[in-house]
């Protein structure tokens, strides 16, 4: 049986067993066919592959500039294929064992300028309960860098009105205290005084931010609210709640915050997660050097 026939048989079988999408099957098919074509130059079949063959193929991909994400995808396809071959007793040893996937660098977060943020935060109409709520949510999100799930889950008793901090329950039920800033605190107080009761519709509920039905807001609802205000502000690029979290981190670094402090504020358990922002710190240092150093 030829490599092409084996690949098609494999794709048909896992489609029947696992109901994978057409896109996933197309990825498997493409990755395996390209591997088969490379093997053919050495007169090797897919079922005769050794671990060395795969390592050589990975080295060849690196030489030709393939990125780590596509290489990781190939390895995922190869592992799936050779496990299938093992299960069907076509081969006796999985050649993908003990081969590590390449580390995939997280994408550099896209941020927006402080001017754009100011423009966005001015959009909600403060004459309506929903406008007061949205203003408070946007200000808190940008002021504290909360995750969207943390934001919509905030309860009134988590707000330290006197101290100007919010007690956030993050991933793994880990708690952290995050400063809010006076603007965010004022927006929250305005919402509580003049908007929240109308949205609550007589219900007693602990969650701070309520939908127009008197319930906890959903992630999707708030995402749509941000998109609505972004359109009003004339943004020509996509924006999401996560964009404001990135803006919070980026703007803090631009104004001199260090990564360890940022890690605590964002609720990252590992500093390496926060280090995706190091490019911001480097650019800040370059600007300072260029501006202030006599040889800049």
% the chain with pLDDT above 90: 44
% the chain with pLDDT above 70: 87
Q: How far apart are CA 169 and CA 185, in angstroms?
A: 18
The answer to whether the CB of 166 falls within 8 A of the CB of 160 is yes
Going by C-alpha positions, the residue among 134, 52, 132 that lies closest to residue 97 is: 52
Q: List active site positions.
A: 147, 171, 242, 245, 268, 277
161: its two tokens? 């009105």
Q: How far apart are CA 164 and CA 34, in angstroms?
A: 58
Going by C-alpha positions, the residue among 53, 27, 55 that lies closest to residue 40 is: 53
The string of pLDDT tens digits covering residues 200-244 is 998 999 999 999 999 999 989 999 999 999 999 998 777 888 888
φ and ψ at 175, to 5 degrees? -100, 145
Domains and CATH numbers, the chain: 3-87 (1.10.150.130), 114-292 (1.10.443.10)
Return the pLDDT at 40. 92
Ramachandran category for residue 240: left, alpha or beta (phi over 0 → left; psi -120 to 50 → alpha): beta
Place of tokens 């952290």: 176
The string of pLDDT tens digits covering residues 120-167 is 999 999 999 999 999 999 999 998 888 888 999 999 999 999 988 999
Q: Highest mean pLDDT range out of 67-76, 102-111, 241-250?
A: 67-76
Return the pLDDT at 246. 82
Whether the pLDDT of residue 102 is over 60: the answer is: yes
The string of pLDDT tens digits covering residues 246-275 is 888 888 877 777 777 777 777 776 666 566
């Amino acid at each position: 049986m030829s490599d092409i026939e084996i690949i098609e048989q494999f794709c048909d079988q896992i489609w029947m067993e696992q109901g994978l999408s057409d896109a996933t099957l197309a990825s498997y098919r493409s990755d395996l066919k390209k591997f088969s074509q490379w093997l053919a130059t050495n007169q090797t079949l897919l079922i005769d592959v050794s671990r060395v063959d795969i390592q050589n193929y990975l080295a060849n991909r690196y030489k030709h500039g393939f990125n780590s994400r596509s290489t990781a995808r190939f390895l995922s396809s190869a592992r799936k294929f050779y496990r299938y071959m093992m299960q069907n007793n076509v081969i006796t040893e999985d050649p993908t064992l003990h081969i590590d996937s390449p580390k995939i660098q997280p994408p550099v977060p896209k941020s927006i300028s402080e001017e754009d943020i100011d423009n966005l935060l001015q959009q909600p109409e403060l004459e309506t309960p929903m406008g007061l709520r949205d203003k408070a949510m946007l200000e808190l999100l940008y002021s504290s860098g909360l995750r969207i799930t943390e934001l919509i889950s905030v309860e009134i008793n988590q707000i330290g009105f006197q101290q100007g901090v919010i007690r956030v329950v993050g991933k793994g039920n880990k708690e952290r205290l995050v400063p809010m800033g006076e603007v965010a605190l004022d927006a929250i107080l305005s919402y509580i005084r003049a908007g929240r009761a109308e949205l609550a519709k007589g219900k007693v509920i602990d969650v701070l931010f309520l939908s127009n039905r008197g319930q906890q807001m959903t992630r999707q609802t708030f995402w749509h609210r941000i998109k609505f205000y972004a359109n009003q502000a004339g943004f020509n690029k996509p924006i999401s709640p996560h964009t404001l979290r990135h803006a919070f981190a980026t703007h803090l670094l631009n104004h001199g915050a260090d990564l360890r402090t940022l890690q605590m504020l964002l609720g990252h358990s590992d500093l390496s997660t926060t280090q995706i922002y190091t490019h911001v710190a480097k650019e800040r240092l370059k600007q300072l050097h260029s501006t202030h150093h006599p040889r800049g």
